[in-house]
Structure formats: structure tokens, C-alpha cells
Structure 1
Amino acid sequence: MTKIFAHRGYSSQYPENTMKAFEEAEKAKADGIEIDIQMTKDGEVVIIHDEKVDRTTNGLGYVQELSYKGLRSLNAGHRFKHIGKEAIPTLIELFDWMQDNTITCNIEMKNNKIPYKGMEEKTIELIRKYGFEKRIIFSSFNHYSLVHSYRIAPEIETAPLLSDGIYQPWIYANAIGAKGFHPNYKRINQEIIQSSIEKNIKVRAYTVNSPKAMRALINEGISAIITDEPILARELLTLP
């Protein structure tokens, strides 16, 4: 059955990549959450999508130029007046919360523009500390980073992000040791989905918010959809 991954948490209704968005995604019965990680100036692995804090917080500047203390003082919920202050979470904070549930976590490493030295190693060390090897999927547009992660932690699933269509993506995924791939949903079709799944390669498409697109992908047997609308996706999934 198709799995539902809440994109940056329940991000259509709550501040993206915050603990509030993750908690609400679990309440919405999402099977998984998709998060983005980067590193602060002092080496803390934090959960935020953009390389700069400008869009999602009330602060300014690059994540890599801010200390953890400085980053933590920002409000990641400032555009959601009814919610109040939400801090940028650390990966440790998320993992502490995950100890009390069974949700799967797709970690997107945001290192295709800024090469955060040692981020893969630090993240893998944390995953092993918490015993989450089977609950984590690494994805990234930086496929070199995915291969590096696979080489040092082959027990953790990897899945390259694909913004454009490529020929026989299941072959490419297998070639780099990945168990799946995460394509732009507009760049795949039923043949790609079925051929991939037949080869034991999972297809998790992003970012699917249209009910029509969701329904079509579910009918085609896609492995998972990554969506800002987990409640809508769950409702469509339970339709006959």
C-alpha cells in the first residue's frame, strides 16, 4: 500500500520543519515525515530547508554562519500568528521525540549548494546511537553524498532525489546502492513506477498536493507520496 510522507511535516497548516509540524503529521496518521538538515557554525545538525534563515524565520543570514544559540533564538513560526514561537529543531530533538512513536523519517541532506564537512558522519553516528537504522531514509540532490553515506553505513537506506526525468531510474538507483528514488511527480509515469517496483526499487514522489495527482499515483501503485497535505492523502488512500 502507498505510504504517506508529510513534507517538512504537516507544512500546509503548520510551520515547516518544526516540532509542531512533525507532531501534527503524526496525528494526521502520516507513515513518515520528510525533513531537511544543515549544520550551524559550531557543528550542530539542525532541521531547516533553506541555506539562509530569511524565508522561514524572523532572522537573516546563512545557517552555516550562525551559532546554534543564535539560531535557536529565532522564531520559525513567525508567519503563523496563531501558533506562537517555534524553534528550529535539532536532529537530536527530533530523534528524542521519535523514541515514542514508530514514524519513518526521510532525511534530506541539504549539501548540494554548501558542502557541510562531516555532516554525513555526524548524522549516521546519531542514527546508530538511537538505533534508528531501519527507520531512516537518506535523500539528497547531492548523489555523491548519498554514495558516501552508503559506503559508511550500508544498513541505512538511500534514495536519490531526481528533479528531471532520467532513463530507467531503477537501474541508476541500483548502481549507486540505493533502494529507491524520489522523483518530481511530474517526471514519472505508470511504466516507470511499475518497472521500478518490479526491480525492488521504491518510488516516492514529491511534492504531491493535488487530489487528482495523488489519486492517480495511488492507483498506479506508487510506493509513497511526499505531500504537504497528509490528511487529504490519507482520506484519498482510504477511498474504495
Structure 2
Amino acid sequence: MAVLKKIVVVSNTSFADVEYLVKFDEHQILDGLNAIEINDVELAKKVAGFLKFNDHFDLFIISKDRNVLKQIYKLYPYARLVYEISHLYDFNKLKNEIFGLHSYTVLISDGEINQQTVRQLKRHGIVVFTRVNSTLDIAQSMLAGVDGVVGLDINELPDLNADYGFSPFVIAHRGFHNDAQENSIRAGIKAHQMDADFIEMDIHMTKDNKIVVNHDHTLGRTYEKDFIIKKEKLKELQKIKMTYQGEAVDERLPLLKDFDNKLVESNIGFIVESKVDSKHAMKRLSKVINTINRPVLLMSFHPFSIIHMKKYMPNLLNGLLIDFNLNKMSLKSIIKTSNKYQMMIHPYYKHSRSEYCEELRKRAINVLPWGVSEKDAVVTFLRGFYGVNTNHIDQLAEVIKFVSTKKEVTYDIGDVFNFELKSDKLLDVSKEVYVFDDQNTGLQTSKDQITGATKPGVAYVYLITKVKLGSTRYKLASDLIKVNVKEKDND
């Protein structure tokens, strides 16, 4: 499994997934998958012109200068733009700045990265890289769950006895509808009760411009009567009762905003699939989305939906739904489109294009498979994708989203120190402690304890818990823990 090992490495070595070029070189840039830093606007114009002339999109461009990223996107919008920040600040401001720069990728260089920060960014679809200067930095980043690391002379990744820093996301496809109708408020509430990270839902627009949730463009399959949604006003559509297994139930066609209102006490995210592609519908959708204060990701099969979503909801991650077996879109086109429209890729989970997923991984383009069957839910969940979009979230009910513990502890030589490790539900979980670097302290451990050390100093450890999922177990790790080793004060 070892998904921690699948992070993208950007470095000036043959080990790297992406070659880190220390300066702009026309010949090197065109050779393979590369990354370059630009912090000068005039150089940015030159590079963008060169990329446009050669139609060379397969390049990471890293910059601390917002004007550089804006200029490159204006002249050639197909390169992968990475916004580097020196420190973390207000989350909403940061999120809006990243997307406002036509990016969905942030490079954090202050070394204070942790799982909570990374998970929060990724719930909004933001790809997270860190700048690293040592093996310790790399280990800290891997355990934090970042998508990639950037640094010089990286020739290997440290061995960590864990599979994940935090678990992939669980997406309830049209809610959890084992005993409720799909895309119903009841299915949404049940998804929350099952502790899903996101509810995926489908939207249409009524004749009077209301954004409603339903999969089909008509009501017949899931309601008592068959009406075409876009040809009727909401008031008329809501006179019709929803059905479940052929029987009428006390629910009517819900608005997208109804889900937000009913789940106001929950921070469950929404993945909104647009079944319509008009500019007007996307403008109306944006007005609803702007009132929703929770993670929202967008997606569609329709190219025009994606174009209009980018225009009217520029501060949200877009997504392309695709079936690799049926759609003949080339890998080149997928990468270019993802870079331009800031997209996650949502493929039907059964396909024969595993090489596509690997190439997308190397570029830190997140993949979220949909349509996952009951028997394949667990194995797909553990393959290292962003998450899994399935009707069968009950198969993932035992998932622990993340674990938490103190980031820094003090150990007195001669004592026994017991760690605490809690799940996302604040429950104590079983644990084992692993020494990453004892830094010559001679730190000794046994199962979940520190049992000894030979001299004072600083050491680094991490904890793991084993999560049972069906017949499979995976190892979930804590952040890196700093241990201050001291001589015991006997006074």
C-alpha cells in the first residue's frame, strides 16, 4: 500500500518525478517533465511566449510573485502554476488567492506543515507541496499528507512504517440511499450520519431559475409524476411527491440550498455535478454557492459547464467527469485542460488506462473515481486516490479519518512515557511508536511507550494505528513528534 511513498518529488536528481531546473533553459524545458521558478515579470513574459510558441504545457511554474502567475496565465494558460507562500495565514484569504491566481497548487516553505492544515486545504481541492531542506523535512511532509515535495538533491524518500498521514475522502454518491431515494434530503442526512466527507449531488435549473437537486432531467424515475425540470416552475414541481421503491414518501424536489440548511450543524462538503451547461444556469448556481459556507467542489461531463463554472465560480476547484474506456480524450488534452481550468479528474473507476492515473499522479493532478461498486469500495479506497465516490459508503464505515496527538513532548531519562493517540471522533485508539531520528539520544521505545534514552537531546518519533477495513488493515500515522530528552531532575 505505502501511499506515503507516492508523493511527487520535484528535484534536480534522476530519482525525481519532476526535474527541478535551477534556471530557464529553452532546451531543457522542452525535455521531459520539469519545474522552474520565476519571480521576475519580464522573465515570465519571455517564458510564457516561449511556451506558447512551442505549445509546451507540461511544466510546473513556481512563483512567490502573484503578478508573475497572472502574466503567465494571461499569455499561456496551459502551464501548471504553483503559488509559493512563506507562511500560512487566514485560510479563506489564502484559498481565494490561490484560485484567484488561476492555480490550485500551493507550495509552503515555512516548515510548519501538519495534517490539519493539509487536510483542510485538500478538502477544498487545493494541491499541497512543501519546500524541503532535509530528510527530517521530507518525513514531516510525508506524514502530514502533502501531495509533493520540492528540494535539491533528493535521491530517496525516507522509510516510514505507515500507509497514510490521513485517510482518503469518503464521498456519498447522491447521498447514502440504502433506504432512501437518491439525491433526497434524507439521503444527505444519512450520509452525514455515516460520517462521509462529501455528498455528491446533481443539479438542474427550473423554468424560474431555481437550482434543484435531481439526477435526471425529468422527475419520472424518482417521483410520482414525470415532469421536465427546465420547463416547469419550482412551485409546480414541488407539488409532486418523491417515491422510494415505488411508494410515495413525504419529500419534494429539494433545492441545493435546502441541503445546506438541513445540514447547517455539519461541515460535510458538497460535490456538485452540473447536469446543465448554459451560462445562465452557471450564473444562478454561483449565487447559491456563494451563500454556502462549507467545502464545495464542482464537476461535470459537459465542457461548456466547466468553462462557465471557471468564469462564474473562479474560487472553487473544477472537475472533469470522464469514462476513459469510452472517451477518446488524450492524456495531453486532459493535462492541458486541468491546468487551464484548475480541475480534478473524475474517471469511472473501471477502466484499462492505469497509465493515465500514474501520469496524472506524477503531475499531482488529483483523481477521484466514481461509480465504485460495493465489492470494490475498499480496494479502490486504498489505492491512493483523493477519495472514492460510491453508493456504498457503509463499506467504509470503520474508516478513521485522521489521528491526533501532541506535537511536542518531554521525556525524562529513567521514566516511562506513555503516548496518547485519538481518532477524529476523539476516541482513544491503539498505537505503536516508531523512532524516525533519535539524533544520538539513544531513545528506546516499546509498543506505545518511550522506555529509555542514553543522553539528553532532541529526537523525532511518530505514532501509527492500524485501521481495519473489511478483511484489510492499513496504517494511519500521526504527525512527526518532537521529543525533548532531558536528564531527570531528582530534587
**TM-score per shorter chain, which class?**
0.7 to 0.9
The two structures have a TM-score, normalised by structure 2, of 0.44
Residue of structure 2 in register with 1:29 after alignment: 195
Residue of structure 1 in register with 2:305 after alignment: 145
Residue of structure 2 in register with 1:220 after alignment: 383
CA distance in 2, matches of 1:45, 1:234: 31
Q: Which has the higher contact order (CA 8 A, sep 6+)?
A: 1
Count of residues paired in the alignment: 233
Residue of structure 2 in register with 1:197 after alignment: 361
| Aligned ranges 1:89-108 → 2 under 5 Å | 89-108=254-273
C-alpha displacement of 1:73: 1.4
CA distance in 2, matches of 1:234, 1:193: 26
Q: What is the aligned counterpart of 2:229 among 60, 63, 73?
A: 63
CA contact (8 A) 2:222 2:242 kept: yes
CA contact (8 A) 2:377 2:390 kept: no
**Higher Cα Rg, which structure:** 2
Question: Which protein is richer in helix relative to its size?
Answer: 1
Residue of structure 1 in register with 2:478 after alignment: none
CA distance in 1, matches of 2:468, 2:169: 12
* Secondary structure of 1:101 counterpart: coil
CA distance in 2, matches of 1:188, 1:224: 19
What are the ranges of 5 or more consecutive residues in structure 1 without an aligned counterpart?
none
Residue 163 (structure 1) aligned with residue 329 (structure 2): no
C-alpha displacement of 1:231: 1.1
CA distance in 2, matches of 1:42, 1:103: 29
1:199/1:117 CA distance change after superposition, 3 Å? closer
What are the ranges of 5 or more consecutive residues in structure 2 without an aligned counterpart?
1-166, 400-466, 474-491
CA contact (8 A) 1:17 1:88 kept: no
* Secondary structure of 2:341 counterpart: coil
C-alpha displacement of 1:238: 4.3
- List per-residue Cα deviations over 1:80-130 (Å, max 9, x = no partner): 64x83221110121122343211111100001xxx5551111111222223
Residue of structure 1 in register with 2:349 after alignment: 185
- List per-residue Cα deviations over 1:191-222 (Å, max 9, x = no partner): 433432332211111111232x2233233211
The residue type paired with residue 343 of structure 2 is K
C-alpha displacement of 1:6: 0.6
Question: Which moves more between the two structures, 137-146 or 216-225?
Answer: 216-225
The two structures have a TM-score, normalised by structure 1, of 0.87
* Secondary structure of 1:20 counterpart: helix
Query: CA-atom RMSD, angstroms?
Result: 2.2
1:222/1:188 CA distance change after superposition, 3 Å? farther
Residue of structure 2 in register with 1:42 after alignment: 208
- Percent of matched pairs sharing the same residue: 22
1:72/1:116 CA distance change after superposition, 3 Å? farther
